[in-house]
Amino acid sequence: MVGVSDTIEYVKCDSEPERQSAPLTALYRIKGRDAQAVEQYLHDKFGVSEYLKFVCCLWEVRGMTSYEDKKTGITYHIRMSSEETIYNKRDDWGKIGYFYITVVRFMEDV
């Protein structure tokens, strides 16, 4: 059986040790038709409290949600947004190519 997390596709991970806090940034993508289910999954599983809103030319949230892994104590910052689009109604999300999830882990304290 395919679950919601199976619709999330890994794209890449970038390490930027020269930047402040030395972030590791993982990027994932979701097809538009699966975005509402993934949005709810992030809300339920990781506490992403804000739902996506259409602003100008994409769907996004303000800021990021902090999530602490209870087993490791590691904090991650999670954000979801769409690619640029003209579709400003949730019912049209299936017409949007991809939505993206960005997960950031800061490797150094500021």
CA–CA distance, 55 with 32 (Å, rounded to integer)? 17
Please tell me whether residue 42 adopts helix, strand or coil conformation. helix
User: Position of tokens 């882990």?
Assistant: 105
pLDDT tens, position by position, 56-101: 999 999 878 899 999 999 999 999 999 999 999 999 999 999 999 9
Q: Residue 4: its pLDDT value, please?
A: 83
pLDDT at 19: 87
Q: Which of 5-9, 25-29, 91-95 has the lowest mean pLDDT?
A: 5-9
Contact (Cβ atoms closer than 8 angstroms) between residue 76 and residue 101: no
103/18 Cα distance (integer angstroms):
18
Q: How many Å apart are CA 100 and CA 97, to the nearest integer?
A: 10
Q: The tokens of 86 are what? A: 């003209």
pLDDT of residue 1: 40
Instruction: Provide the whole-model pTM.
Output: 0.89
Give the Cα separation of 51 and 23 in Å (integer): 25
